[in-house]
Amino acid sequence: MDSSLAMVADHDRFYVSFSYVPPASSRQLLDELDFISEGDARDWAAEEVSSSAQESGSAWDFRAELWLIPAGVCLDKNDAKERVQALAHATWDHRAKAVVWTDGIPNDWDNDDETDEPETGH
């Protein structure tokens, strides 16, 4: 996780984790970023999902998860999981050729390498 995320901020932040499932494999983390604006976070997430899905095709499952980190929360503390809010996730709809946002975050993180698991626990 980016070291800037471990710092406590005096404003809400929006955190995006971007992951994929290659054909016949488990979900892997590709990138994660911290944003001050929810709009900027959603724009980045949608662009990553869209461009990756269009480049790699329908056999890959790309997803961006959007989290709200309230002001004053430090992600490296044990109690941060209860205070971080799962807002939504974006996936690629191959039929509509568009990014689709869905409320909430699926709890299906199945990465064999626990060191790459986002600190939010999903």
pLDDT at 15 over 80: yes
- Its pTM stands at 0.77
What is the CB neighbour count within 10 angstroms for residue 74? 14
Which residue is it, tokens 């209860």? 82
The pLDDT confidence band at residue 77, using thresholds 50, 70 and 90, is: low
Model pLDDT, residue 109: 63
